[in-house]
Amino acid sequence: MIVVMKVDSGEKEIDEILKRLAEQGLAGHLSRGIERTVIGVVGQTYPELRDMLELLPGVEEVIPITRPYKLSSREFQPQDTVIKVGEITIGGEELVVMAGPCAVESEEQVLETARTVKAAGAHILRGGAFKPSTSPYSFRGLGEEGLKILAQARKETGMPIITEVITPEDVELVARYADILQVGARNMQNFILLDEVGKVNKPIMLKRGMSATIQEWLLSAEYILSQGNRQVLLCERGIRTFETYTRNTMDISAIPVIEKVSHLPIIADPSHGTGKWYLVAPVALAAVAAGADGVMIEVHPSPDHALKDGAQSLTFDNFQRLMEQLVNVAASVGRRMAGGTKG
Amino acid sequence: MIVVMKVDSGEKEIDEILKRLAEQGLAGHLSRGIERTVIGVVGQTYPELRDMLELLPGVEEVIPITRPYKLSSREFQPQDTVIKVGEITIGGEELVVMAGPCAVESEEQVLETARTVKAAGAHILRGGAFKPSTSPYSFRGLGEEGLKILAQARKETGMPIITEVITPEDVELVARYADILQVGARNMQNFILLDEVGKVNKPIMLKRGMSATIQEWLLSAEYILSQGNRQVLLCERGIRTFETYTRNTMDISAIPVIEKVSHLPIIADPSHGTGKWYLVAPVALAAVAAGADGVMIEVHPSPDHALKDGAQSLTFDNFQRLMEQLVNVAASVGRRMAGGTKG
Amino acid sequence: MIVVMKVDSGEKEIDEILKRLAEQGLAGHLSRGIERTVIGVVGQTYPELRDMLELLPGVEEVIPITRPYKLSSREFQPQDTVIKVGEITIGGEELVVMAGPCAVESEEQVLETARTVKAAGAHILRGGAFKPSTSPYSFRGLGEEGLKILAQARKETGMPIITEVITPEDVELVARYADILQVGARNMQNFILLDEVGKVNKPIMLKRGMSATIQEWLLSAEYILSQGNRQVLLCERGIRTFETYTRNTMDISAIPVIEKVSHLPIIADPSHGTGKWYLVAPVALAAVAAGADGVMIEVHPSPDHALKDGAQSLTFDNFQRLMEQLVNVAASVGRRMAGGTKG
Amino acid sequence: MIVVMKVDSGEKEIDEILKRLAEQGLAGHLSRGIERTVIGVVGQTYPELRDMLELLPGVEEVIPITRPYKLSSREFQPQDTVIKVGEITIGGEELVVMAGPCAVESEEQVLETARTVKAAGAHILRGGAFKPSTSPYSFRGLGEEGLKILAQARKETGMPIITEVITPEDVELVARYADILQVGARNMQNFILLDEVGKVNKPIMLKRGMSATIQEWLLSAEYILSQGNRQVLLCERGIRTFETYTRNTMDISAIPVIEKVSHLPIIADPSHGTGKWYLVAPVALAAVAAGADGVMIEVHPSPDHALKDGAQSLTFDNFQRLMEQLVNVAASVGRRMAGGTKG
């Protein structure tokens, strides 16, 4: 942490800073420039210290110089985290495809979709049983009934399942059925939920909040990691911007940024990232070209009859076509499809 | 809901839309323009219908024309909701001031602050016992111990207390102590929590999410209202934008917008809205001039020793000065301080 | 400027930085922390240096610690800039009201508006002769003919006029007619235009760009100031955010921020800031309560017949009502209306 | 255009709307729903009509249903615009690479870069002679001297050159040297400049403004097209969001969106889109996978000595490596490098 003094600050004010640092067991290292003095704080700092120092007389600004996240950083763990789910590994050389309906609507819908996406080469089945919905008057999911349908689809197809948990109380229940638990964008800063999934012995996929910075996202991952669960996947699903043509703005740069600053695997969700089915394929290909470890795609037997997010769901045919393209783009950047199913 | 057909769409596609609407018990009303045909949907629509229709062949765009929130709208209830908390009314002609520390740190800190802000004319004591914190390594509040300290301050000063609840499991506990329960910005779309506070017989103050549109905010209020709890206050606390000088960007227009479209009271939080103590007073005055029913102000005996948000907390002296200014500005727009304590 | 070294950087890399600084006539001051070394750059730095240093091996990050603007800063000039326009002063204790139609449409429209807003207490007449328009198919203004109409209104009413200039070639022409030249939001970074208005001996009102940070805005003011024209007014007119209810999001905090970091006067434009006539009055009052030196209000004899921005224009009656409220709010924060016309 | 009436509006108000429409030579088509009446406007509407109608009594909202841009739309011209520059075609099947330094600094720098990027397979040389710069104290380019250096590099290497024009007065000068004129992000709504480049018989590359919606961007293209210049290329270069890790947020979805709604070629600029050299390659590959017709890359012989934007410039080696990857990714989505130089 660096304390930048005001141009007109004096020795008395500098002494006050040094005294305050000493009270905290910290040292201050002075650097006197032409215009102003800067004090480097030496010792173990913490976020609130910034506010405290910034309020002292003569201080212009306090600048943190260490990243506030630790366990999720490359500095803490230089090698990639690779997560094993059944036969699949996520975060290594393989490219993983998660596919399925936005919401579990019926056994028939899920089974039909599961068989189709598996045949097309997908690895993990997605489907929501508990659905966060902007409006209380919208469909909120089938609950445990939905989880049972997913489990049945796993039994029949052998595909691991990923599904969302939206409240701490349901973590145990969802963990009983799911192979990967998803924490949704709206819950990225539901810290009690993060604590709870941090205690589970299953991988957690943490979606980026729609207005979360990359740093805040990693701090939320830190909640899970610091509870002892080291199997965390990150998922970029678009951020909120002024552009209204798309539902969100897919932050494609976040993929290589995460790869640089963190060892955690990064998945892309072009369905929520764009909100329009005809943008899903180009943005999925882009994500893989940018280095994503996997993509998550919404697929529905009949999108124009979907109870949720039909506009961003692919038909079976469109998903099949996307899988063929994904194999090619993955190969062009030196990756192979997981399981070698289609690569 | 209005279905805008593509320029080159034909009769067959229009028939398909009408058929689909009929299946849903809806009618379609055709309007043939020079360039394109537009179909007005007649009957009770629902949000997912938009996605469904937009996927049908020949459709350019589907435009919702009714607001998705109902119970919170002026159309549903033209007269203002006025909430009574002890001797104070919120949402009527009186201006209400909530003040206190960001976080409850100790009995001494809270009591000293409570006495001081009461003497200066504040009406409701704020203080957080459960603190959502971006980092798992930061202070997260004293929990129930903090609630007890707040209750003691109420006993001594007679001020009602407002405090945050961050997870559904704690709603009952917090409701036992608090006069008003606060749902924070990060939990605005924690729908299970909204359901829970909707079942409580205490007023709920719902803060706007940092990237929530006004419509989404009202839909979250709708969760609470639709559970039967009609005592909802809204709180504007700044939104996330590209500007980094301030912690958030206070959306001052949201105050008159809420007043126009909703009957619910609107409170302004300039402390979180700006993040810097020297901006709190001007923005608080602005909020009152714009029509806010109240303001919420962070005050700390010694901001440079605060465990949380010291940089945006007022000292006792600065709070005293702000109260004097608030009385004047309130009067200039035809409002008086609640309780007449200082007006 | 501060160079933060990577945790694993070594002496060789530090030497390289020091050598590079020496080549630029700068010194480096080392501060060795527990985790990493930080180098304070001593001497006159410049913006591009940051990029250069950040590319050197072993460097984690380079942090500028001086603000890049100078002439517009409070540090450079502690006392407020007060600009005299006719009998009016802007930036002192007086509150200034600029009012008139968005676009000059006809002699009758301008004269009628000028007489009415003057009678209601406005000080300066606004009106656009050259209109930047998002679409090439929209009304783009009457050009010089419009300037002549404004000049005639000034002659008749005695009100100084403010009008926009949109291209360098027109600066001389507009300066011949206008008392204050306005540079619009879309031209805030039209640097050649800024250079040109910097050579004129008339006050310039510089609107904030719709996605400009406060720092970038002050850097644009710096262009004008550094050409020798010290009569610069800033105008906050709303920024672009995700919220779509309002045309822009009025950044109310920008008013006290400018007052803190700069000596230049700050005007608020709630008409563009909100885009809806019924939000103009509450936001104008808020701006004055927050400390604005003036407000700019769009007024039209018949907003529903306006050629431009009718939705955000006040009728004569509504303007009259706003003026009465402004007098009260101004008084409540210790300001009087300019000229004492209505105060 | 659709006029949505308020729930409580009556026949008198509807008659008023119809009367007003009739005055404008338009018809109104009534659609009476359960809750409210909707009026479809039949005839040739224009943007300002919305404001006018919205101000009439009884009107809730006015919704435009036609896109305001015409010449740039796919509806106007279904087939792709293909632009020929020397031997290269842009907008067809070929992928085009523009590369070179941000700013022209010296003959040696430009020639060395030109030779290197050409050898690596680039097709068009970029370099700025007139540089828009946020600060008046930064390097603003060599001016005509810079244009001469570019012309010399073209002569020696045979590469066409693209360079920016920043003010209407310079259009003729720049057009004398450049093969493609660039209008930068800060000038996307410099309408006088757009008019001028619309009169030139050279291709124009129009960068997206940093807070421009896709619709506004196409409206700016419309300025150029409507002056008669149909050779317009669009360039996505990142938008401004709350994320600060990257300089801008590359809007990857904009690429397939443009392809869907417009016939104009779309180029991606990952250098400005990310602001960090190590993000340029993954985002360039992503852009090609998403369907971009070309990429524009900043390359410098010694980025840590660059006078401008060094942090986002590739070294020769990194550019060479990127070109090899681009060839592969282009092939994986069915495109070949222009000129077949490296494909």
D66 vs B102, higher pLDDT:
B102
| Residue B275 pLDDT class (50, 70, 90 cuts) | very high
ipTM beyond 0.90?
yes
Cβ <8 Å between A34 and C44: yes
Cβ <8 Å between A250 and D246: no
- In 10 A of CB A15, how many CB atoms? 12
B19 Cβ neighbours under 8 A, 6+ residues apart: none
Question: What average pLDDT values come out for chain D (343 residues) when binned by 10 residues?
Answer: 89 93 90 84 84 90 86 94 96 97 97 98 98 90 97 98 98 98 98 98 98 97 97 98 96 98 98 96 98 98 90 96 98 90 41
Indicate if the pLDDT at residue B342 is higher than 70.
Answer: no
Q: Smallest CA–CA separation between D25 and chain A, in Å? A: 32
Q: Smallest CA–CA separation between C300 and chain D, in Å? A: 12
Mean predicted confidence (pLDDT) in B77-82 = 96
Distances (CA, A) of A175 to A105, A160, A200, A229, A266: 20, 13, 7, 13, 21
B-chain CB neighbours of C286 within 8 Å are 252, 255, 286-287, 289-290
Q: What's the pLDDT at A342?
A: 41
What chains are in contact with D, requiring at least 3 Cβ pairs below 8 Å? A, B, C
Are B313 and A55 spatial neighbours (Cβ–Cβ below 8 Å)? no
Mean predicted confidence (pLDDT) in B172-178 = 98
Identity of the residue in B4, B40, B241 whose CB atom sits nearest the CB atom of D38? B40
b/e per residue A271-287 (b: at least 16 CB within 10 A): bbbbbbbebbbbbbbbb
Mean predicted confidence (pLDDT) in B120-146 = 95
Are C266 and C292 spatial neighbours (Cβ–Cβ below 8 Å)? yes
Identity of the residue in D31, D41, D66 whose CB atom sits nearest the CB atom of B40? D31
| Residue B40 pLDDT class (50, 70, 90 cuts) | confident
C-chain CB neighbours of D304 within 8 Å are 51-53, 55-56
Chain B nearest-CA residue for C246: B253
The CA distance from B181 to B207, in Å, is 11
A212 Cβ neighbours under 8 A, 6+ residues apart: A188, A189, A220, A239
Q: Are strands C161-164 and A294-298 parallel, antiparallel or unpaired?
A: unpaired
Mean predicted confidence (pLDDT) in B210-223 = 97
Chain D nearest-CA residue for A291: D282
Mean predicted confidence (pLDDT) in C150-172 = 98
Indicate if the pLDDT at residue C343 is higher than 50.
Answer: no
D-chain CB neighbours of C137 within 8 Å are 46-47, 68, 222, 226
Q: What's the pLDDT at D47?
A: 78
Cβ <8 Å between B38 and D2: yes
Cβ <8 Å between D285 and A255: no
Q: What's the pLDDT at C128?
A: 97
Instruction: Name the DSSP class of C81.
Output: P
Cβ <8 Å between B239 and C250: no
Cβ <8 Å between A222 and B136: yes
Q: Which residues of A touch D (CB under 8 A)?
A: 211, 213-215, 239, 241-246, 249-257, 260, 273-274, 278-279, 282-283, 285-291, 325, 328-329, 331-333
User: What separation, in Å, do the N-terminal and C-terminal C-alpha atoms of chain D show?
Assistant: 49
Top residue of D167, D193, D232 to mutate, by most chain C CBs within 10 Å, is D167
C-alpha A59, offset from chain centre: 37
User: To which residue do tokens 């882009």 refer?
Assistant: A286
Q: What's the pLDDT at A43?
A: 84
Top residue of A3, A5, A7, A35 to mutate, by most chain C CBs within 10 Å, is A35
Q: Smallest CA–CA separation between D217 and chain A, in Å? A: 11
Q: What percent of chain A has pLDDT over 70?
A: 99
How many alpha carbons lie under 13 Å from residue B33 in its C-beta half-sphere?
Answer: 27
Are A292 and A263 spatial neighbours (Cβ–Cβ below 8 Å)? no
The CA distance from D54 to C291, in Å, is 32
Q: What's the pLDDT at B340?
A: 61
Identity of the residue in D279, D328, D331 whose CB atom sits nearest the CB atom of A253? D279
CA gyration radius, chain D: 23
Distances (CA, A) of A193 to A167, A204, A267, B131, B141: 6, 11, 21, 14, 17
Indicate if the pLDDT at residue C303 is higher than 50.
Answer: yes
Cβ <8 Å between C29 and A31: yes
Cβ <8 Å between C282 and B245: no
B to C CB pairs, distance under 8 Å? 125
B-chain CB neighbours of A193 within 8 Å are 167
Q: What's the pLDDT at D35?
A: 78
Using alpha carbons, select from D158, D196, D198 the residue that is nearest to residue D179: D158
Least confident of A3-12, A154-163, C239-248: A3-12
Q: Smallest CA–CA separation between C10 and chain D, in Å? A: 19
The full DSSP string for D280-301 is HHHHHHHHHHTT-SEEEEEB-S
- List pLDDT tens digits, range C188-223: 999 999 999 999 999 999 999 999 999 999 999 999
Cβ <8 Å between D286 and A286: yes
- List pLDDT tens digits, range C322-341: 999 999 999 999 999 998 64
Indicate if the pLDDT at residue A340 is higher than 80.
Answer: no
B-chain CB neighbours of D66 within 8 Å are 35-36
Q: What is the three-class DSSP state of D183?
A: strand
Please name every residue paired with D63 in a beta bridge, in sequence order, or none if there are none.
D2
Are A185 and A210 spatial neighbours (Cβ–Cβ below 8 Å)? yes
Cβ <8 Å between B286 and C246: no
Q: What's the pLDDT at B341?
A: 45
Identity of the residue in B246, B254, B283 whose CB atom sits nearest the CB atom of C290? B283
C-alpha D118, offset from chain centre: 24
Cβ <8 Å between D273 and A250: no
A to B CB pairs, distance under 8 Å? 138
Name the CA dihedral angle for D315, D321, D322, D328, rounded to a multiple of 10 degrees.
170
Please name every residue paired with A206 in a beta bridge, in sequence order, or none if there are none.
A183, A234
Instruction: Name the DSSP class of C6.
Output: P
The CA distance from C244 to B214, in Å, is 9
Mean predicted confidence (pLDDT) in C232-250 = 97
D-chain CB neighbours of B66 within 8 Å are 35-36
Top residue of D54, D62, D135, D237 to mutate, by most chain C CBs within 10 Å, is D135
pTM of the model: 0.95
Q: What is the three-class DSSP state of C219?
A: helix
D-chain CB neighbours of C140 within 8 Å are 191
Q: What's the pLDDT at C51?
A: 87
Cβ <8 Å between A36 and C7: no
Are B314 and B102 spatial neighbours (Cβ–Cβ below 8 Å)? no
Mean predicted confidence (pLDDT) in B304-318 = 92
Q: What's the pLDDT at B51?
A: 87
